[in-house]
Structure formats: C-alpha cells, structure tokens
Amino acid sequence: MFTDPTVDVLVVGAGPAGLLTTCGLRKAGVNPFLIEQSSRTSAHAYSALLHSETVDALDTLGIGVAIRERGLEIRRIQINLPAGEIIDLELDRNASPIVALPQSSLEEILLSALQEAGSRVHWDHELTDLGETKGLVAATVAEHGEVPQGYPVLALRRLVIREHCLKTRWIVGADGYHSTVRRMGGFGIDHSGAARRFWFFEAEAEGALEPLVRLWINEDGVAALWPLGGRSCRWTFESSGSIGTTGAEAVLRSLVRRRAPGYTSGIAEIKWSAGGLFESRLCSVFRKGRHVIVSDAAHLGDPIGTQSMNAGLQEAVDLVGRLAGLLNGTYDEKTLDQYSTHSIRRWKNLTCHDLKWCGEVPAWAADSLEPLLRSLPASGEPRNEFLRQLGLAPPVAAG
C-alpha cells in the first residue's frame, strides 16, 4: 500500500516527458508521484535529436549541461533536393546546438536528475481507471509483479499483485501514444493527415561521420541520416510500401545506394532496426478539469523532424512552472487553460497547420517544401532562421 494515498500531482508514464515533468516539479518544491507500467525505461535510441529550443528549455531545469556532455552537438543540416540541388543550413552562432542523443541516454540522464532531486519512478504501476471523489481525481493503479508458477523449472508470470486507489489534485498524462489519461479524461483527437510509414536502422558507419544532419527528399519520401557520435548513426526512411528488415544490412545498403546519393562512409554493422506507422494528430485541448496531457499523449507527427518529443519536452517545462505556481497560490486554474492554448499554438506553428506563406516561395519548394518542413529538426526562432536561409518568410496564421 502507498503510505499517503493523497498526492498533489500524479504523473502517469516515465518516458522523457513524464520523467522531465516529475523532475521539474520536484525541483520546484512540489512532491509529485510518478507511475510507470513497465519495469524500466526504453532500451533503444528511438527519438535521438533535441532541438536547440529544447536544449534551452532543459537548461532552465539544470539538465542542459549533462545533455551536451553526453550528446553530439550539431549546427549544420544538409538538404538534398530531388533535382540534385544541395542546400546547407547553419544554426545562428548564438543559438544552442541541436544535440544528437539517443532517447535511452536522455532517459538515463533524466532518471539520475530525478533521483538527485529526491524523487523516483514507481515501476510496474499501471493506471487502470479514473474517477472522482470529493473534488479530487481517484486513480486506480494496478501494481504488477512476477509470481513463480511452481513448476520444477522456475517460470515467472507477470500478474497484478496489488491494486491501489490514489487520490490526486492534478493528474498529468505523459503516457504516450495510447494514453489512458487521454482516453479516460475524455479528450478529443483531431487527425490532420494520413499515417505515414517509416523504417529505422541504428547502424555503425565504416568511417567517422561529420556532426551534420543530412536529409534527402525524392519521390519515395524523405531519407535522413543523424550522426550519434563516432561511427554510430541513425538512418530513417519514409516509405509507403513495406521495406522489411530481414537481412537488414543488405536492405539498408540498398536503400542508401538508391535514396542517399553522395553518402560515402559505408555501413559496417546494424544494431537494431524497426518500422512504424506515424499519424498526424492533435488533441483539441490539453486540459480538461483536473486532467492535463503532454507530449505524445497530446499529439503526434513524423519522426524525422523529432517534433512530437521535442514539443513534449518544451510543454513539460512550461507545465512545471504553471503547476508549481498553481499549487503555491501564485497562479489560478486559468494557467492550465493557457498551457493548453499555448501548446496547441506551438504545435500548429511547428507543423505549419492552418498557416499560410507570405511573400515569394522559391521554385524548388513546389514538391519539396511539405516533406522538408515535417523533417526539419528545429522549432521556434532557430526554425524561423532556417526558413529564412531557405528563402522563406516564416508563415503566419491563415484567414
């Protein structure tokens, strides 16, 4: 049994957004309670680029230094257009770098920061139901454990070993794509486009790689190469058809030959590969009563621009300040509606949803602009600066 079943903030999900929200709240003097249904954080690289603006946001919570130390700083992006034209983009010298850092390393850094701040993850605890009691949220949490089966050879089975009822003033759904908080809190989702399929290969190149993000755009979609330090790298390919990952090295070599002209560093080894379908979606609000959602629970975009996790981390930092202010009496509840409006505006801006271009749009942009915009690993002012380097005035609200 939990010793104190009433908490100020219950955070659901120990992915990057939930870890950061909990860590930030703890640093702001709040005592949040973090539950995670799995037994540990993700072991793979998954999302691996932090935008300059995200690095700035992490700096405000004192996590930026560790991020820069562990990650690879990148200041250049190379765009290869269908007709063979190459455009080089460079970050403003005063902007923080883009940092290439596997999601697993980011989660390790956030876990240590959480422990240093005096909090922890309650692993193997799954939110299963939500209700209301005396103006508070009543959360039912199933605790999982491995139970021996009593066979002569030891076999363990994962079962619910206890059920807890936790009361909380605020609940934060950082519980990802299948969010239980979103579903049970009654949040609506707007879908704004067809799902696209992507294939990921985490590989070692034969030679060292420059700190440069490379994008290739052609009729098959976008291909991207992110260096991850030394010879490690991530290849991502958008593809409407099935690529298959059996014989992954041969598949990757053939894809690189066909879709990444100009790449010369070879492929030495593949560490893992996977495929996935990514939808474009956005919740109509991020706050409903005492329920708040953040990151993948609230939106989803393409993986190459790493938009969803980066927006999510920026939202988490914003939410921390508002929740802490609300609990210490500096703000009233309207601050959470502002969090919702502000986050939706930021997402629409990032994904160019409901925006129109001002001024002249260069000729190359006719077919390449849309895939390029969803693949640029940048947000906020650094992104606007990249748009200016591409000859585009940042877009404004349509209508």
Q: How far is the CB of 219 from ligand FAD (least distance, A)?
A: 22
46 vs 386, which CB is nearer to ligand FAD? 46
180 vs 343, which CB is nearer to ligand FAD? 180
**Residue 110 phi, psi dihedral angles, 5° rounding:** -65, -35
Which DSSP string corresponds to 37-86?
SSSS---S--S-EE-HHHHHHHHHTT-HHHHHHHSEEE-EEEEE-TTS-E
String of contacts with ligand FAD for each residue 233-272, x by CB under 6 A: ---x------------------------------------
* Residues in Cβ contact with 176 at an 8 Å cutoff, skipping those fewer than 6 apart: 13, 15, 295, 296, 297
Q: How far is the CB of 337 from ligand FAD (least distance, A)?
A: 21
Using N-to-C axis directions, what is the helix angle for 307-327 and 52-60, rounded to 10°?
20
33 vs 46, which CB is nearer to ligand FAD? 46
13 vs 97, which CB is nearer to ligand FAD? 13
* Residues in Cβ contact with 128 at an 8 Å cutoff, skipping those fewer than 6 apart: 140, 141, 142, 163, 180
Q: Interacting stretch for ligand FAD, rule CB under 6 A, among 75-83, 168-176, 365-373, 391-399?
A: 168-176
Alpha-carbon torsion, ordered 54, 183, 14, 336, to 10 deg: 50
For residue 374, give both structure tokens: 């969803």
Alpha-carbon torsion, ordered 288, 290, 295, 299, to 10 deg: -10
174 vs 285, which CB is nearer to ligand FAD? 174
Among 10, 26, 46, 80, binds ligand FAD (CB under 6 A): 46
Report the distance separating Cα 54 and Cα 94, nearest Å. 15
61 vs 364, which CB is nearer to ligand FAD? 61
Q: How far is the CB of 152 from ligand FAD (least distance, A)?
A: 33
200 vs 364, which CB is nearer to ligand FAD? 200
Yes or no: say if 194 and 238 are a contact pair by the CB < 8 Å rule: no
Among 7, 9, 10, 17, binds ligand FAD (CB under 6 A): 17
Among 59, 73, 108, 126, binds ligand FAD (CB under 6 A): 126
String of contacts with ligand FAD for each residue 285-314, x by CB under 6 A: ----------xx------x--x-xx--x--
Report the distance separating Cα 32 and Cα 314, nearest Å. 19
Using N-to-C axis directions, what is the helix angle for 16-27 and 103-116, rounded to 10°?
20
Among 13, 32, 64, 102, binds ligand FAD (CB under 6 A): 13
Among 8, 38, 144, 164, binds ligand FAD (CB under 6 A): 38
Yes or no: say if 110 and 21 are a contact pair by the CB < 8 Å rule: no
Q: How far is the CB of 181 from ligand FAD (least distance, A)?
A: 8
* Residues in Cβ contact with 314 at an 8 Å cutoff, skipping those fewer than 6 apart: 53, 54, 57, 346, 379
Among 15, 221, 321, 371, binds ligand FAD (CB under 6 A): 15
Among 127, 282, 285, 323, binds ligand FAD (CB under 6 A): 127
17 vs 61, which CB is nearer to ligand FAD? 17
Q: Which residue is nearest to ligand FAD (CB)?
A: 15
Yes or no: say if 308 and 301 are a contact pair by the CB < 8 Å rule: yes
Report the distance separating Cα 35 and Cα 52, nearest Å. 29
Q: Please work out the total of residues on this chain that contact ligand FAD, with binding judged by CB under 6 A.
A: 32
String of contacts with ligand FAD for each residue 174-213, x by CB under 6 A: xxxx--x-------------------x-------------
The footprint of ligand FAD on residues 336-395 (CB under 6 A) is none
What does the radius of gyration of the chain's CA atoms come to, in whole angstroms? 22
36 vs 53, which CB is nearer to ligand FAD? 36
The region, left, alpha or beta by phi > 0 then psi within -120 to 50, assigned to residue 380 is: left
Yes or no: say if 228 and 45 are a contact pair by the CB < 8 Å rule: yes
Among 230, 244, 262, 276, binds ligand FAD (CB under 6 A): 276
Binding residues for ligand FAD, rule: CB under 6 A, are 12-18, 35-38, 46-47, 103, 126-127, 174-177, 180, 200, 236, 274, 276, 295-296, 303, 306, 308-309, 312
